[in-house]
Copies of this chain bind each other. A is one copy, B any other.
């Protein structure tokens, strides 16, 4: 997933390529981990001090609309957003929020599911692993 791909997505749909949108996309790409709407707004705020949360949400909705964005529910109940990089899933630290992508996909499960439920039209799936990274384990970040 790169910037141009995403920008092309807007164009294809007749949506406009405003500087704010570009910045939102760049922030998401640069973070390399799931961000909350608020985090995105704060980061974009550096370049666009007047940006409204509405703009962030509208942009996220657009990205989600053309299938480029995943929404992830963290165990703390908060939602985060990130581009899905052609089928990677994530290892997410509950202490520091760092996310590491891993290339394994529960494909065999999907196949079994599809076999046993031929009438079900699969449209998507989610898979995420939560836990604590080494740093957070060492610093006691695993506190419940």
Number of identical protomers: 2
Total number of A residues with any Cβ neighbor in B under 8 Å: 40
Q: Which residue of B lies closest to A111 (CB)?
A: B104
A106 surroundings in chain B (CB, below 8 A): 104, 106, 109, 127
Which residues of B are found within 8 Å of A132, using beta-carbon distances? 120-121, 123
Are B121 and A131 in touch, CB under 8 angstroms?
A: yes
CB contact under 8 A between A102 and B91, given known A121-B142, A134-B119: no
Q: Which residues of B contact A120 (CB under 8 A)?
A: 91, 93, 100, 131-134
Question: Which stretch from A8-16, A25-33, A45-53, A70-78 is at the chain B interface?
Answer: A70-78
Q: Quick one: CB contact mask for A92-128 with B, threshold 8 Å, 1 for yes?
A: 0110000010101110111011001101111111111
Q: Is A17 an interface residue (CB 8 A)?
A: no
A79 within 8 A of B: yes
- CA of A128 to CA of B113 in the docked complex: distance in angstroms? 11
